[in-house]
Structure 1
Amino acid sequence: MKKIIAIVLGFGPGIFAIGYTIGTGSVTSMIVAGSKFGMQLLWVLLLSCFFSGVLMFAYGNYALITGETALYGFKKHLKFGKVLAILIIVGITFGQWNSLMGILGISSNIIYEILAINYEGIVAYKYETVLAIAVLVIVIFYALMLVGKYTFFEKILVIFVTLMGLSFIISLFFVQPLPIDVVKGLIPTIPEVPGGKMLVAAFVGTTMASATFLSRPLFVKGKGWTIKNLDQQKKDSITAAILIFIISGTIMAVACGALYHQGKVVTQVLDMANTLEPVAGNLAVSIFFFGALSAGLSSIFPCLLIAPLLVADYQSGELDTNSKQFRIITAIACMVALIGPLLGTNPIQIQILSQVFNVFVLPIVVLGIILMVNNKKIMDGYKTGMAVNLGLFSAFIFSCIISYNGVLGLLEYF
């Protein structure tokens, strides 16, 4: 047990990648997809996780070799880098803050459902209770943000991500998809139904998140890694990508096994909570509840961090978590997060839409790192390998196709 705990606590900046990637956005997308289409979109998840691993590796290597962070490097070295960096900051902040509204809404609804089971009197005051829970959660997280230490954030995330992963993997023992569904899911197809294109875009938006790659140099530096840790950085990137695929695929499989063949579709938070009840009873519901809540809470930290991270990256490449700027930007993010619960909107719909918006900045983020890691002057003579370049160029083509798909999906929706 001591060895297992040491391995978990020894996990590097990849824990933030999992925190960014597998939140309620990912859980929502996976459950909705699993309930609607079974394992049909497994191929999208596999490609997204593969390209995520390549991009995490490239951004991490860039930071260790040059000593610079991503946006600061774009501004310093690229011809239109300043404009590019500002566009990226605006695009990612918009997507992540929208996502934060959905995350807080879903997490608050899950806590409300747990309370409603034990205290029936609050059912008549659902809106007020959900809003009060949302305010309490965001105030607690803002207070934790003021502690302002990388190692503290990392330990909190390790706890949430571990609980989340174990909850979903245990849930899989209650319901398993058919092996033939898993095999079919690896064959590239897009569901020819209303909302199919948008869900594919949301899938990529949540598993191949730009915020994950751009923040990696800052987290690598926060970990204290140097050019001597190149091999460790590579292993950390691969491990993070594999874990993202396993946990996300498990969630989709649970929804497929429990709901798809019964023709049940998830549209509300309670539907997510009751994913397992028909076949596994209250115990499985409690375990799944716990996993979904851990996913939400593990995402609030990174989503609150993203705007001050990107601004600090652009300004100097150094993040000061004790600065006045950090406290003000995170306070604004907290207020934005409360908009969804305040309006009483369906958090699942907000979450899917926010993930779609995330894909539009992705091609710029991929192109930026391709230009940087292939400039020998910037990389101090370090040559990026052919395999990594092939992965990066493939990721760029994939991101362009998905962004186009996202536009078509939004046009269909509106």
Structure 2
Amino acid sequence: MADITDSGTAASKFGPRKSSWKYIGPGIVVAATGVGAGDLVATLIAGSKFGYTLLWAAVIGCVVKISLAEAAGRWHLATGRTLFEGWRSLGRWTTGYFAVYVVIWGFVYGATAMSSSALPIVALFPDGPGLKTWAVITGLIGLVFVWFNQYAVFEKVMTVLIGIMFVVVVYVAIRVAPDVGASFAGLLPVLPDGSLLYTLGLIGGVGGTITMAAYGYWVNAKGWTNTGWMKVMRLDNRVAYITTGIFVVAMLIVGAELLHASQIALTKGDQGLVDLGAILEERFGATTAKLFLVGFFATSFSSLIGVWHGVSLMFADFVERWQLDRKGVPVDEGTVAEVAAGRRERSLPFRAYLLWLTFPPITLLFLDQPFGLVVGYGVLGAFFMPFLALTLLWLLNSSRTPAEWRNGKLSNTLLAAGGLLFIVLCVQQVRDLPW
């Protein structure tokens, strides 16, 4: 007997007979969430400094992200358990780390996401309310949207936002008239002087956040709960990071063509995209500039509601595991299937974390992010991606995973390489913090 998944398509409860584009969804969500305004600025700056030379690094970065997200999704489907259940099986230290991380990270990220979403609105409507007012408004809209809508509606809205992002970024890249020959030459691995950190950042940074860990939760929320969906998940994941790769390549083109030749410097951080809007207006007119700012908003707001939803799901799972551990109750394998029905999206911990992401960070908008919190956020954030890569490597090579779904040589190589890369980036990020 067939059942209806969130995609509205009839499929066997054991999964579809073959993978198909019509099932794609969680990958679109993770791509829209993972690529934020700051990532686009970092890519633009790399293009402005080194032209097309680091294009190869962006391609390698997409391959690394595909391996990480595939590993997270494979764990959920192969074991019938969530990623946090896997972490918990590695020892109580994972619970302690995640508890501290998710509290401090969420507090500071909430303010960052709201400010990033407000910046393009202020640029589009300079005579309206100020940045802090718009930041609060975007945060409250995100809260209300995620609070009252479950995964199916959330996915549709994220698909619209990533569609806007895609069209705008590719349109701007075409407008600046890319040098096709130079872009192909950029696929050859070359390291210009002073480019090492930019190269590592391109490989490890764009689309690499806690939302990669949330991918498995979105897979379950879609209704994919067993290995019958494995081929679909893998297609979905590849689409996600190929889309991310197109974003990265397009922004490198803009940086190389619009900024590199003219030696124009952008402001670091999200403000750099407002600078780019002004440059686009001068070069191509107000219409292109405003269109770009709309794409900037779609990029930022999709990251906001993606984190509001995905990390809240992870927090709800964390609380559930903690409560079961306190009671000494073994984990029921039926838990994952219940996630697809939306139980966690209606739970008290899910909504409590939504409130945590929204209201306490509003105070930071007016306190300009106290020094200690910025340092704590930077340290914990730097350590998360190595934690994710290396724990997935551990889980997927152990008896916790059914033998047929454990890592092969390619998965092990990519996860190990990603783990080492993220450790290097972690050390560099910690060194660069304003201690």
Q: State the shift of 1:191 in Å.
A: 5.9
Is structure 2 residue 293 aligned with structure 1 residue 283? no
**1:361 is paired with a residue of what secondary structure?**
helix
* Structure 1 stretch displaced more, 217-226 or 157-166: 217-226
- Correspondence for 1:240: 240
Secondary structure of 2:239's partner?
Answer: helix
Measured after TM superposition, the shift of residue 245 of structure 1 is 0.7
Aligned length: 387
d(CA) in 2 for partners of 1:105 and 1:203? 23
Pairwise CA distance, 1:45: 2.4
CA distance in 2, matches of 1:228, 1:221: 13
Deviation at residue 312 of structure 1 after TM alignment: 2.3
Deviation, 1:363, is 1.4
Structure 1 segment 152-167 matched on structure 2, within 5 A? 152-167=153-168
Q: Which residue of 1 aligns with 2:28?
A: 15
1:90 aligns with 100
Distance 1:381 1:180, change over 3 A: closer
**What is the rounded CA distance, in whole Å, between the counterparts of 1:332 and 1:105 in structure 2?**
16
Amino acid at match of 1:141: G
Is the 8 Å Cα contact of residues 15 and 157 (structure 1) preserved in structure 2? yes
Please give the TM-score of this superposition, normalised by the length of structure 2: 0.79
Of 297-306 and 153-162, more deviation after overlay is shown by: 297-306
CA–CA distance in 2 between the matches of 1:339 and 1:189?
A: 43
Q: Which SS does the other structure have where 1:374 is aligned?
A: coil
The answer for unaligned runs of 5 or more in structure 1 is: 1-5, 123-127
Aligned residue number for residue 114 of structure 2: 104
Q: CA RMSD in A?
A: 3.0
Aligned partners of 1:354 and 1:180: how far apart in 2?
38
Which amino acid in structure 1 is aligned with residue 138 of structure 2? Answer: V
Residue 395 of structure 1: how far off its partner (Å):
1.6
Moved more, 311-320 or 281-290: 311-320
- Paired with 2:353 and 2:422, the residues of 1 have a C-alpha distance of 29
Q: How does 1:171-190 map to 2 (within 5 A)?
A: 171-178=172-179, 179-180=181-182, 183-184=185-186, 186-189=188-191
Amino acid aligned to 1:84: T
Give the superposition deviation at 1:165: 0.5
Give the 3-state SS of the residue equivalent to 1:192 in structure 2: coil
SS in 2 for 1:359: helix
Change (3 A) 1:298 1:190: farther
**Other structure's SS at 2:402 match:** coil
Shift of 1:86: 3.3
Q: Report the Cα distance in structure 2 between the residues aligned to 1:354 and 1:253, rounded to whole angstroms.
A: 31
CA contact (8 A) 1:163 1:294 kept: yes
Contact 2:383/2:426 (8 A) holds in 1: yes
Pick closer, same or farther for the CA change 1:86–1:191 going to 2, 3 Å.
farther
Range 321-330 or range 227-236, more displaced: 321-330
Residue in 2 aligned with 1:3?
A: none
Contact 1:105–1:340 (8 Å) recurs in 2: no
Q: Deviations over 1:59-98 (max 9, x none)?
A: 111111110111112213x2x2x21243145336644553
User: Aligned partner of 1:69: which letter?
Assistant: T
- Counting helix residues as a fraction of each chain, which structure ranks higher? 1
Instruction: State the Cα deviation string for residues 142-194 of structure 1 (Å, max 9, x = none).
Output: 1111114111111110110111111111111210343426634753537628x
| Percent of aligned pairs sharing the same letter | 20
Q: Secondary structure at the match of 1:239?
A: helix
For structure 2, the 5+ residue unaligned runs are 1-8, 10-19, 322-335
Q: Is it true that 1:292 corresponds to 2:293 in the alignment?
A: no
Relative contact order (alpha carbons < 8 A, sep ≥ 6): 1 or 2 greater?
1
Pairing 1:13-92 to 2, within 5 Å after superposition: 13-76=26-89, 78=90, 80=91, 82-91=92-101
1:332 and 2:345 are equivalent in the alignment: no
